[in-house]
């Protein structure tokens, strides 16, 4: 999954068999004339290409790998089909800050409804057995935790972002293909589902967006800045991308 502002390059696509496959073009970070192609678990295709290569050259290189791209997409889609839909019943496992917590649904007619993190379990209190109610209470709990965690981490990480003069406005928005984004006027948007990921993954996304306040595209300067404030961010991003299908299979 991406935590990126929309790149300057327009979306490109090609046809393989009976499917049109769209891909995102981003500039290569290092001096090279090679085109690198990556298919992410969320079925997003990203192509890293030299900045001086025109779209026709990039498209030709991508088409040569069309069969491989198609096979990768098919494998990831098959994996997604086997994700068991949530039933929101006791015994299910739910993520929070990268850790697994068992869900326990407590039916208490006289107790206030809500969610508590107790003794390694996510305990939901409802007045009657109602799956939709459990789902709604849990979603609200995740959103509130996301609001608190993101605000706290933003405060901490701003100390590293010396190019930021004042704290940018922060909003939450559930997105299917992005962890976050940065608007032209400097507002940072984060996906509340990100609160299910480990803290270093959350920090990576926030720092990524803070870097966009200085560099508005994915240029060499952008990645240099990101590397300065978060050395070794690549494996963190890889881990987050690998969790994408699982995290986003249950949208908040």
Which pLDDT value is given to residue 81? 61
| Distance, CA of 33 to CA of 28 (rounded, Å) | 9
Q: What is the pLDDT of residues 162-186, one digit of tens each?
A: 999 999 999 999 887 789 999 888 9
pLDDT-derived band at 6, boundaries 50, 70, 90: very low
Domain spans, the chain: 12-81, 93-248
Q: Evaluate if pTM is beyond 0.75.
A: no
b/e code 110-135 from CB counts within 10 Å (16+ = b):
eeebebeeeeeebbbbbeeeeeebbb
Which pLDDT value is given to residue 175? 83
* CATH 3.40.50.2300 fits domain 93-248: no
Q: Is the dihedral of CA 202, 205, 209, 212 positive or negative?
A: positive
| Residues 6+ positions from 121 with CB-CB distance below 8 Å | 101, 102, 103, 104
Q: Averaged over 8-23, what is the pLDDT?
A: 79
Per DSSP, 6 falls in state P
At residue 29, does pLDDT exceed 90?
A: no
At residue 77, does pLDDT exceed 80?
A: no
């Amino acid at each position: 999954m991406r935590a990126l502002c929309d790149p300057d390059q327009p979306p490109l696509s090609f046809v393989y068999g009976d499917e049109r496959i769209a891909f995102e073009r981003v500039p290569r970070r290092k001096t090279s004339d090679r085109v690198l192609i990556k298919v992410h678990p969320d079925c997003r295709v990203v192509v890293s290409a030299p900045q001086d290569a025109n779209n026709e050259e990039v498209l030709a290189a991508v088409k040569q790998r069309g069969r491989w791209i198609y096979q990768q997409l098919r494998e990831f889609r098959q994996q997604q089909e086997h994700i068991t839909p949530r039933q929101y019943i006791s015994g299910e496992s739910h993520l929070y800050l990268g850790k697994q917590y068992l869900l326990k649904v407590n039916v208490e007619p006289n107790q206030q409804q809500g969610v508590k993190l107790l003794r390694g379990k996510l305990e939901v209190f409802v007045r009657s057995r109602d799956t939709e109610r459990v789902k709604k209470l849990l979603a609200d709990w995740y959103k509130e935790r996301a609001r608190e965690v993101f605000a706290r981490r933003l405060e901490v990480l701003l100390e590293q972002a010396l190019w930021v003069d004042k704290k940018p406005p922060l909003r939450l928005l559930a997105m299917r293909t992005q962890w976050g984004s940065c608007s032209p006027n400097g507002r940072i948007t984060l996906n509340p589902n990100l609160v299910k990921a480990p803290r270093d993954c959350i920090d990576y996304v926030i720092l990524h967006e803070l870097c966009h306040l200085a560099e508005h595209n994915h240029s060499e300067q952008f990645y240099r800045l990101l590397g300065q404030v978060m050395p070794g961010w690549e494996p963190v991003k890889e881990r987050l991308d690998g969790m994408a299908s699982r995290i986003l299979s249950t949208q908040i």
